[in-house]
């Protein structure tokens, strides 16, 4: 999963017109902080009559990318233009979400995806997300290539460790709010 993440980040670097290893070097991925976080959602038939239950509430994730393997197709939803869309991918594939720190690094050019998990009425869903993050001592900020007089920095700089610690008393999905550049408010 780690090697896949590095290859994807190299592709993102190239898509931005940058050196292939740009993100890899800036985020010090040789000592990246990665987390594997298994999830299990029971089927609705086993836990409730409410057909609109959410397995995980809407959130964005910290880090650079989230690579997701799951046992069934379906459940993951992504918000796009105010609507929740199913992000169906086969159980034998890996889903990829852009996370907060790609958004911060690119000053919003790439967006962290707001997503949730909707419970299924028939099957239980197990997923294995791999949270691919920068080194804890990497300073994450809008990089100069994405900042100019028309696009000022939208986020303040902070190490990845500071980012995670700034949210220690809250759920990790709220941490991005700590990085918004106060000069924009």
Token output for 54: 């959410």
Task: Tell me if 127 sits within 8 A of 39, measured CB to CB.
Answer: yes
- For residue 29, give the nearest of 55, 58, 5 by alpha carbon: 5
Mean pLDDT of 129-142: 94
Mean pLDDT of 117-122: 70
Average pLDDT of the chain, as a whole number: 81
Mean pLDDT of 103-126: 83
Question: For the segment 27-63, what is each residue's pLDDT rounded down to a tens digit?
Answer: 999 999 888 776 655 544 444 454 445 556 788 888 9
Q: What was the pLDDT predicted at 174?
A: 45
Question: For the segment 71-91, what is each residue's pLDDT rounded down to a tens digit?
Answer: 766 678 899 999 999 888 787
**This prediction's pTM:** 0.80
Domain layout of the chain by residue ranges: 34-168
Task: Tell me if 79 sits within 8 A of 154, measured CB to CB.
Answer: no
- For residue 101, give the nearest of 66, 131, 63, 141 by alpha carbon: 63
Q: What was the pLDDT predicted at 172?
A: 45
Residue 130: in which H helix or E strand, if any?
Answer: strand 125-132
- Which fold would CATH assign to domain 34-168? Jelly Rolls (2.60.120)
Q: How confident is the model at residue 151 (pLDDT cuts 50, 70, 90)?
A: very high
């Amino acid at each position: 999963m780690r090697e896949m993440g590095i290859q994807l980040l190299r592709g993102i670097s190239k898509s931005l017109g940058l050196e292939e290893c740009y993100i890899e070097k800036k985020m010090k991925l040789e000592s990246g902080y990665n987390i594997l976080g298994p999830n299990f959602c029971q089927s609705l038939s086993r836990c409730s009559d409410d057909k609109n239950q959410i397995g995980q509430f809407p959130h964005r994730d910290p880090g650079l990318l989230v690579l997701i393997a799951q046992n069934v197709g379906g459940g993951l939803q992504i918000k796009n233009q105010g609507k929740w869309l199913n992000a169906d991918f086969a159980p034998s594939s890996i889903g990829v979400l852009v996370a907060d720190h790609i958004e911060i690094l690119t000053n919003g050019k790439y967006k962290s995806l707001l997503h949730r998990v909707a419970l299924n009425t028939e099957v239980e869903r197990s997923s294995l997300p791999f949270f691919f993050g920068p080194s804890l001592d990497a300073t994450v900020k809008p990089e100069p290539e994405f900042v100019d007089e028309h696009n000022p920095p939208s986020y303040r700089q902070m190490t990845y460790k500071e980012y995670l610690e700034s949210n220690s008393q809250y759920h990790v999905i709220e941490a991005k709010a700590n990085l918004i550049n106060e000069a924009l408010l």
